[in-house]
Chain A
């Protein structure tokens, strides 16, 4: 007797996806749901039916890996070509790389942390749909971390400030801004994390965070970073869809979820927005060839796309735009000027360099910010005189920090360009300082969490940062001569000139 093997049944994409993801789900019989998923009840979110999660993309692991491998192949081919042809010499200027130093030190480590937390969600969410989506995002994020590190590692052979980014991320004062932001999300529950990172970071603010760096790269001859950006773009659109699906799912499951979600939107908008101060100054001050101003980016990517689009849709669920969004809209006129002025006078303690904007650059800023930049220009004119007299504005001490965002308290009241905002709360006998109503609001709702903040300035004064003097602290940061300070005359600036002179000499006949 012969057995004819059955012809394999051809599944449609949808069936195949279902078979390989959702159909692998089972109901526990030896333990209760609560024992199997112990993290999804304490936040107070009510989910009635996990199967109502709409899978925004139908991807299977084999399709996923095949697709990502092809993207990697293309990226690594570009990286090789760029390295072999000394591509770094065709950047607009070595000072452009300050933006990339900031990216590697501040953002790439967050990709890795996102990988970790999405892996946790891939285990801990009750529904197979969101678990699989989290698994894919977790894989995306570790790939982002790896490819960013590889992309930028070529520059580490030639330029300062790229060498100890992971070590620095955990220790350096300005990197505590993005680090504490993400640690804050990592230490929240899974639903809050979904709103914090999945929704607020990956949807609400992603175009403000990610696009400026990648466009900056393409405008300034950084082909590898641009290629990385393209390679990550299709992942990012999946992440945006996941973030949007997460919030809609929570809102549709139970009305009681709405006020919780609204509070998280209020909190995480402001938390994320404060991190974008680093992007704002990068766009307006660090790029030799400008892409667009922070104000334009904010209007396009936030006011038009989010306030004008997304929040119109969310109004259906009773969700309103984040609290304190009006302050962010006022700040678009001056955020970058204030953020760069902070970095400028503390760059002797940083792993990037700064410089007075050229006259041409200042004219561009005046065009972009006719109402505000002329006021800030007076500071640069004073600094130019200071430099002519042999000075360079580096602060001889440490700044007051905001307890929540950890940024030196240099942001002003909306109607006073030179009066810094001061807020304070007193909790269980101790005073805490804040840069804004937004940061105070966050603290006041969770004082026990934020009083544990590891504020770099306070830690230095406790003797926890290697030494009590600046050289000792910089040593503890692993900073080397040439990493920070003034760009003109810096190691990068000198090398750049030398290499270009050499290229000119040998380039002729």
Chain B
């Protein structure tokens, strides 16, 4: 189940030589029950950009931490997996704005409020 997002822009007038209306090549529907998720270690330049993963919307945060997050971030010699996710402050990035969240092992990524192509950010330790 994915939340309905509020549009931030309207469809502008299109100048073209014919009918011009093609679908997104990255639409959520193309990923079945999965979604693309951006994971952004804000303030740590070791990872030059946020990561992009394909993950099930129903994946729990505990599974995500163990199976996706830790293997990727262990490439930073200063990352300490033992510290657990409690060592970071978590948020959903929204352009320049952000909304803090508190993840726990059993809550799903979707229930944390994460939707297709959204940004799961964290800072610290």
Asked if B52 and A451 sit within 8 Å, CB to CB, the answer is: no
A408-B48, A426-B7, A433-B117 are known contacts. Are A462 and B31 too (CB-CB below 8 A)? yes
The reply to whether B95 and A38 contact each other, CB–CB distance below 8 Å, is: no
**Would you list 7 pairs from A and B whose C-beta atoms are within 8 A, ordered by A residue?**
A44-B15, A395-B75, A396-B71, A422-B40, A429-B7, A430-B5, A462-B31
Q: Does A397 make an interface contact (CB < 8 A)?
A: yes
- Asked if B99 is at the interface of the complex by the 8 Å CB criterion, the answer is no
Q: Which of B18-26, B58-66, B81-89, B100-108 contacts A (4 or more CB under 8 A)?
A: B18-26
Query: Which residues 214-229 of A have a CB within 8 angstroms of B?
Result: none
With A422-B95, A446-B12 known to touch, is A455 a contact of B25 (CB < 8 Å)? yes
List residues of chain A with CB within 8 A of the CB of B75.
Answer: 393-396
Known A422-B40, A430-B24: A338·B48 in contact at CB below 8 Å: yes
Q: How far is the CA of A327 from the CA of B51 in the complex (A)?
A: 25
Q: Please, how many angstroms separate the alpha-carbon atoms of A401 and B119 in the complex?
A: 12
- Residue in A closest to B18 when the chains form the complex, CB atoms: A42
Given pairs A345-B47, A420-B49, A445-B12, 17 additional interface contacts (CB within 8 A): A42-B15, A189-B17, A341-B48, A379-B45, A379-B46, A399-B50, A408-B48, A420-B40, A422-B50, A422-B93, A426-B6, A427-B9, A429-B5, A430-B24, A433-B119, A448-B14, A454-B25
Contact: B9 with A448, CB < 8 Å? Answer: no
Q: Does A130 contact B (CB under 8 A)?
A: no
Q: How many residues of A contact B (CB 8 A)?
A: 59
Q: What CA separation (Å) do A459 and B17 show in the bound complex?
A: 28
CA distance A386 to B77 in the complex (A): 7
Assess A409 versus B50: contact at CB under 8 Å? Given A428-B11, A430-B27: yes
Complex interface residues of chain A between 373 and 431 (CB less than 8 A to chain B): 379, 382, 385-386, 389, 391, 393-401, 408-410, 417-420, 422-431
Interface flags for B27-40 (1: CB within 8 Å of A; 0: not) read 11011000010101
Of chain A, the residue at the smallest CB distance from B50 is A400
In the assembled complex, the Cα of A35 lies from the Cα of B64 at a distance in Å of: 59
Judged by a CB distance under 8 angstroms, whether A323 is at the interface is no
